[in-house]
Structure 1
Amino acid sequence: MGMFDSFIGQIKCPNCKNQQKTEVQFKWSECCLLLDYELGDVVPGAQEGLYVEDDWFNERCSNCKTEFIPNVVLKNGKVIAFISKEELQRTDIEHLQDIPYKYMKNQRYDTEKALAKGFTKETADFKKQPFKENQSITAFEREWKVAKGWRKDFNSEKVSEFFKLSGCATRKSDYWFVYIVVDATGLKRFVEVSDRIKHWSDNDDRYGNMLFSETYGFKDEHFLFSEIF
């Protein structure tokens, strides 16, 4: 099939009304770089006015097992709805409710902000890495102290060139920095800092190069971790 981009969203089964995740692939955008678009995203190359992406593949309901065709509705280039073909045939798409710009990215960040997990709006200067012990950083609208740090490199004895290439597909460098950070309440998170390249599909400044998580795979044999402090 070659390179493509995808719409990712929740869709309702026309039979039992069960909501589930769906993916619709398309090849007419300006990018075709395996990028994902969600509700509220503007798609480069989308035609003006109202556009319905149709008839790519069948979706199978995870609840009642009914098969149906997922459709994606765009208005002035912005994704505004995921809807089955069956429901679409009963709907006047001119009257579908518009949604705010970047809707799903904003919704997801609000959740991540509360949990302190995911990509932050703040970025770290990769050229000034590594952080120092006890250095203060701000992320998710709170202050963190850097408690421990490692440099993360590919393990040349365990990693294939394909794995290395795919692992660096959105980064300039083939190494990262990993830290344990703690906030004033004692909440502990791992944070990975890389020189991640901004995707055209991001459509906002939410994505940076700081990725927070609750756990981290230090035992992955594909990587070597060198303790910094």
Structure 2
Amino acid sequence: MDMGMFDTFTGQIKCPNCAAIQNTEVQFKWSECILLDYELGDVVPGAQEGLYVEDDWFNERCSNCKTEFMPNVVLKNGKVISFISKEELQRTDIAQLKDIPLKHAKTQRYERDKIVAKGFTKESADFNKQPFKENQLIMAFEREWKVAKGWRKDFNPEKVSEFFKLTGCATRKSDYWFVYIVVDATGLKRFVEVSDRIKHWSDNDDRYGNMLFSETYGFKDEHFLFSEIF
């Protein structure tokens, strides 16, 4: 194993001085160490039973009052339940910290994503039935979309390395996938990518093979070739 690899807890933490909330990251090396991100509600392979606290190697700096503090992550039976500063931890009975539902942060993010239809989602499509057809209706974000335009996306053999193919942020069964422009009843346009993805480094849960919605798309990326299909 590459000793430089690690996994990361990502979440929000309260400054112990001014109570401002900001994003934080805590790196750790006792799990899979393949650059996975874990959020509130995620279960971490290899975590200890019962209550466990992981502290970071570096101090956080409050973006509001500039106070430096050390971020900590609390796990309960392997599940991430809290991000808390060392100062607050010292005056907290962690046994009294409230438990939270599984996949808590990802569920919250999905609820936000439903409104604007973008980001990694719980939406999925049968890759074996790709490509979609022009004007086909699909369901995503609990509403209907019409497929307006489509491309097949392949690795560019002249520009992409084998390393990029094998890693490339995701593990896929196939080395090609599909990109579409879709439109909902209000006229909202989104790009959607469909692949037979089986794992993604930043999406450590069971939502594999998703449709990925976004507002913009990188058609000029030299690592890929885009062939218009309709």
TM-score computed with the length of structure 2 as normaliser = 0.89
Kindly state the Cα deviation for residue 16 of structure 1 after the two structures are TM-superposed: 2.4
Q: Distance in 2 between matches of 1:125 and 1:156?
A: 27
Structure 1: gaps of 5 or more residues: none
Q: Distance in 2 between matches of 1:27 and 1:61?
A: 25
Which amino acid counterpart does residue 178 of structure 2 have in structure 1?
A: F
Matches within 5 A, 1:11-26: 11-26=13-28
Q: Secondary structure at the match of 2:108?
A: helix
| Kept in 1: contact 2:169–2:200 (CA 8 A) | no
**1:185 matched residue in structure 2:** 186
Matches within 5 A, 1:62-101: 62-101=63-102
1:118 to 1:96, Cα distance in 2 relative to 1, 3 A: same
Whether 2:154 is the aligned partner of 1:153: answer: yes
Kindly state the Cα deviation for residue 204 of structure 1 after the two structures are TM-superposed: 4.4
**1:113 matched residue in structure 2:** 114
1:226 to 1:94, Cα distance in 2 relative to 1, 3 A: same
Kindly state the Cα deviation for residue 168 of structure 1 after the two structures are TM-superposed: 5.8
Q: Secondary structure at the match of 1:167?
A: coil
Structure 2: gaps of 5 or more residues: none
Kindly state the Cα deviation for residue 119 of structure 1 after the two structures are TM-superposed: 2.6
**1:47 matched residue in structure 2:** 48
1:204 to 1:196, Cα distance in 2 relative to 1, 3 A: closer
| Kept in 2: contact 1:168–1:174 (CA 8 A) | no
Which amino acid counterpart does residue 111 of structure 2 have in structure 1?
A: D
**1:124 matched residue in structure 2:** 125
Report percent identity of matched pairs: 86
1:7 to 1:180, Cα distance in 2 relative to 1, 3 A: same
TM-score computed with the length of structure 1 as normaliser = 0.90
Which amino acid counterpart does residue 18 of structure 1 have in structure 2?
A: A
- Deviation track 1:25-64 (CA, whole Å, cap 9, x = no partner) reads 11222x3221111111111221111100024222222233
Kindly state the Cα deviation for residue 12 of structure 1 after the two structures are TM-superposed: 1.4
| Kept in 1: contact 2:71–2:86 (CA 8 A) | yes
- Aligned alpha-carbon RMSD (Å): 2.0
- Deviation track 1:106-152 (CA, whole Å, cap 9, x = no partner) reads 11111111111123323222222211111111111111111100011
**1:34 matched residue in structure 2:** 35
- Deviation track 1:177-213 (CA, whole Å, cap 9, x = no partner) reads 10011112221111001111146973444x5420001
Which amino acid counterpart does residue 40 of structure 1 have in structure 2?
A: G
